[in-house]
A = this chain, B = another copy of it.
C-alpha cells in the first residue's frame, strides 16, 4: 500500500465542513469555537488520523513545541537520567526534544547558530553548560525561556532546580559520627562546582558541631572522577594515622576508595567505612554496596520541564530562588561501626 500522503489542516477543514481558521483554533485551545463545530473538527481529526505538522506550526506561529536539551556530554548515569526525565515530561506535554552537544569551545557560537536555525520553545540546561554565563545571557537576550538543573552559581532571571547538598552532606556526616567514627576523611569533588563546595562545607560544619577533629591531611581533592578518587584515597590512606571512615563526594570516588582499600588489604566496612553520594548505578554494583545519598535525577528534570512549560505559556511566577528537591539517605554495606 502506498503511504497515503499525510492529511493537512485543509483536509480536516473540508471533512469537518469549516474553515481552516476554525480548525487551527481548535488545535490551539478551541477558544471562540462553537461546541458543534468543535465536535465536528475533532471527529475529523480522528477520522483522518490527523497530526499537525511541527515545522509549519513553528514557521507560522510563536510556538514551537520543541524543547532543547543542552549537554556538554550526555554520558553517565546522572545526565542520562536527566535526559530521561526531560523526555518523559516533554512527551507528556506533546513536546519534542532536540538534544544538542555544546562543546567546551565555541559554545556560544553553537548556541547562536542553533537558535537561529530552529525555533525552540525553551531549553533545559544541564551541568556544566548551565553555568556558562555568556550562554545564559544570550538566552535572556533572545528571550528564550530556560531552566537550569543543578547549577553552580546564581543567575537572575533563569529559574533552576537543585538538591540541598548541604543538608544531605550533613546527614551523611552525622551518620558516620553516629556510628562512632571520630577520624573521618573527606574527598572533595570538583571545586568548580558549587555542590562540591557545599558538601565540603556541610562536612566541616557537622564535624565542628559534633566536636570532632578535622584533620587537613585526611582531606583531598578527587575532581569527581574515579581516577582522581584513586589518587586522593591513596594519599589519605597512606597516612601513618589514618581515618576509620572516608566520605567521598560522589559514588565514583567512593568506588575508588574501596579499590584502594582492597589494594591495601583494608576490609570495608570493618576497617574502613566509605560513603558515596548520588546513588548512581555504580553504588549498588560495587561490593560492598555504597551507603550514599540518592538524588532524584529524573524528577529534577521533570520538574525543570514543568517550570519551563509554565514559563513558555506566559505564566511567570518569577521564581528566583532555586527549587529544591529532596534527597534520600541510602544505607548499604559500605559503612559500619568504627573499629575499636
Query: Which residues of A are interface residues toward B (Cβ below 8 A)?
Result: 1, 3, 6, 49, 51-56, 58-59, 66, 69, 71, 73-77, 79-81, 83-84, 87-88, 91, 96-101, 113-114, 116-119, 141-143, 226, 252, 255-256, 258-259, 262-263, 281-282, 284-289
Contact = CB atoms under 8 A, between A and B. Distances in A.
Nearest to A259: B287
Given A54-B117, A97-B99, A285 B256 contact: yes
A47 to B, nearest CB: 15
A252 to B, nearest CB: 6
Contacts of A91: 100-101
Given A91-B101, A259-B287, 12 more contacts: A3-B141, A54-B118, A75-B83, A80-B80, A87-B100, A98-B98, A255-B286, A255-B287, A259-B285, A282-B285, A285-B286, A286-B287
A251 B142 CA distance: 46
Contacts of A79: 80
B99 A6 contact: no
Contact of A98 (B74, B84, B97, B287): B97
Nearest to A2: B141
A56 B66 CA distance: 15
B83 A99 contact: yes
B84 A101 contact: yes
Contacts of A281: 76, 226, 282
Contacts of A263: 287
A121 to B, nearest CB: 13
Contacts of A69: 99
A284 B226 contact: yes
Nearest to A282: B285
A26 B141 CA distance: 31
Given A1-B141, A255-B285, A285-B252, A55 B118 contact: yes
Nearest to A297: B75
22 contacts: A3-B141, A49-B116, A53-B116, A53-B119, A55-B118, A69-B99, A74-B74, A74-B84, A74-B87, A87-B101, A88-B101, A91-B101, A96-B117, A97-B99, A226-B285, A252-B285, A255-B285, A258-B287, A263-B287, A281-B282, A282-B285, A285-B286
Nearest to A253: B285
Contact of A59 (B53, B96, B97): B53
A149 to B, nearest CB: 16
A244 B226 CA distance: 29
A53 B115 CA distance: 9
Contact of A56 (B59, B76, B77, B282): B59
A199 B281 CA distance: 24
Contacts of A83: 74-75, 80, 83, 99
A51 B59 CA distance: 15
A279 to B, nearest CB: 13
Nearest to A77: B75
Contacts of A289: 259
A34 B316 CA distance: 52
A96 B77 contact: no
Contact of A116 (B1, B6, B99): B6
Contact of A286 (B49, B52, B118, B286): B286
